[in-house]
Each structure stands twice: as C-alpha cells, then as structure tokens.
Amino acid sequence: MPELPEVQTVVTQLSKKIVDKRIDSFQSTWKKNVFPSSMVFARGVRGAVIKGVRRFGKHIVIDLHNKRSIVIHLKMTGHLLVKTRKNKNAHAFTRDPVNGYIRHIFTFTDGTTLEFSDMRKFGWLRILATSTVEALPSIQTLGIDALSPQLSRSLFRERLAINTRQIVGSVLLDQERLAGIGNIYRSEALFLAGIRPMRRVGTLSKEEWQRLFVSVRKVLQHAARLGGMSDGDFRDTDGLSGRFQRAIFVYRRNGLPCKKCGTIIQRKKIGQRSAFYCSRCQC
C-alpha cells in the first residue's frame, strides 16, 4: 500500500491520537522484523512517553521522551491501528484484511493499543537513539521529500535527470532521488503530465518537466487530502479506507477505457513492476 499520501495520513492521525501516552508494553508475534531484537525493543519502549510522530519519505518515526525513537516501515501491507477500549471490537471480523494479521501490539497505560497489522510480513520496526534517526541508512540515503516546500522545479529536474538514458518511470520510484513516490502515484503523475513511463529522461522538454513537477505535487497532495488510496487493503488508524481510489485514472485500469479519451489503458512492465498508461493521452 503505502506511499507518501498514505504514510502522511497515518502520521497525521497518530500525532493526534498517541502523543503524550505512556507505553506499558510491547508484544510481537513476528519477532524477525523487530530490530535490533524484539527483547531490546520491548525493553527500550517500556514506560516511555510518546513525544511526537514524524515522516521521512515512507518511514514513520515515533519519538519518545526517553531520547529514543521508533522507526516503522509499513512496506506493502502494513497498517497501524489505534484502538481505544471503546472501538476495540469495531472491526473485528474473520478474514478482515486489517485485523486478521496483527503482528505487533503496543499497549498504553490508559488501555489504548497501537496495533501493527501486516499480512505479508514485510514491514519492520526498529528502536534507536533519537539522535541517530537521520543516520539510519534507509533514511540517510533518501532524496528530497516529494512534498517538501524546498523542492523547486529546477531541483526536481536536477534530481531526476542525473542519468539521461534512464526512463522516467524508473527514476520516479528511486527514493534516493525523490522520496515518497511508489507504483500507484508514478503511474498517476505520469498520466496527469501526459508523459509515457518509458520515455528516457533526456528526451523530456522543458514544458514536460514543468508538467511532471506540477503533476507529482498535485497528485500527492490530492491523495493525502483524501486520506490516501485503498486498493483492497490500505486502512487508516481507524481501520477505514482512503478515498483516493475513486480519483484513479490509470493505475490497475489496464483493459479499461481511459477516463479522458476512451482509449484502452495499457500495462507495461518496468523492472519487476507494472506501469499503466494511456497511449493517446501520454506521449
């Protein structure tokens, strides 16, 4: 699931719901993805009070008052659910994509829980000293955030056009150049910009770079406002779906008519994953 808009949705909600709560305990049923180890992790968070929640690209950072921070990556199927005593059973039904796969649980002293559901077990959690968060390799190597106010048109082009022979569909996914875009929003942004995913970055005109920059920002902001996109399994911290999927133009719409011109949407493998585009609207 989660790309920048979905992670931002989670971070915004967590900031409202768990700040100032004190962690009573941490339990895990998939210790393999808890670092440095689930024992060290549990010891490090026990008794700690939540100070704030931040986002670095697609990473979620929960800062604690004990000078430690929790870093979480949801990868493909991770969800973070906040359950109070009141709503605890609200979504409990069998085979539920969210509640059926709870792997890790934080329990706060007021009885609230923060539950990490993750069907495919790709997501991970790590505890480290707050002062070292930005030195964590996966965070340190991140490029500028796609929604950063510091990202200008010229910087955007400079970052993405390092190797002019690479195709635009690939460089948009490269977190070391630009952080936050995943497979859904690369297809959507390229559609809005009217550019085919397999174009080499060296062939893009000044106008096309301008359109791509505007489209990336627009699509991410729009999706974030709608609480992200739920294609089957993304849920916010209440277990609710996002609303961006209605606004999708091309992603996973191969074989269906383009919403703008009626041409059948195409799918093309780029690397190991699918890009979607309209051969008429995108040149």
Partner DNA sequence: ATCAGCACCTGTTGGC
Partner DNA sequence: TGCCAACAGGTGCTGA
Rounded CA-CA distance 101/81 in Å is 12
Contact track, DNA, 50-79, x by CB under 7 A: -------xx--------------x-xx---
Size of the site for DNA (CB under 7 A): 40
Report 88-107 residues binding DNA (CB under 7 A).
Answer: 95, 101
Among 168, 173, 195, 278, which residue interacts with DNA (rule: CB under 7 A)?
Answer: 173
Which of these ranges, 21-29, 146-154, 218-226, 272-280, lies near DNA under the rule CB under 7 A? 272-280
Candidates 137, 150, 262, 283; binder of DNA (CB under 7 A) is 137
Residue with tokens 């070391």: 176
**Out of 16, 32, 46, 260, which residue is the one contacting DNA (CB under 7 A)?**
32
Q: Which residue from 43, 85, 273, 280 is in contact with DNA, where contact means CB under 7 A?
A: 273
Cβ atoms of residues 26 and 109 within 8 Å: no
C-alpha to C-alpha distance for 215 and 251, rounded to whole angstroms: 15
Tokens 């700690």 found at: 48
Annotated catalytic residues are 2-3, 58, 273
The stretch among 2-10, 21-29, 34-42, 215-223 that binds DNA (CB under 7 A) is 2-10
List the one residue from 165, 206, 246, 283 that touches DNA (CB under 7 A): 165
The answer to whether 45 and 23 are in contact (CB under 8 A) is yes
Place of tokens 């921070």: 69
The least CB distance from residue 63 to DNA, in Å, is 20
Task: With H, G, I as helix, E, B as strand and everything else as coil, classify residue 181.
Answer: coil
For residue 163, state whether it binds DNA (rule: CB under 7 A). yes
Q: List CB contacts of 169: < 8 A, sequence separation 6 or more.
A: 186, 190, 197, 198, 199, 270, 275
With CB under 7 A as the contact rule, which of the stretches 12-20, 190-198, 208-216, 264-272 interacts with DNA?
A: 264-272
State how far the alpha carbon of 43 is from the alpha carbons of 25, 36, 129, 230, 281, in Å: 9, 11, 13, 34, 55
Q: CA 155 to CA 146: how far, in whole Å?
A: 11
- Which residues would be at the binding site for DNA (CB under 7 A)? 1-3, 6, 32, 57-58, 73, 75-76, 95, 101, 119-122, 137-138, 141, 163, 165-166, 170, 173, 175, 182-184, 229-234, 252, 267, 271-274
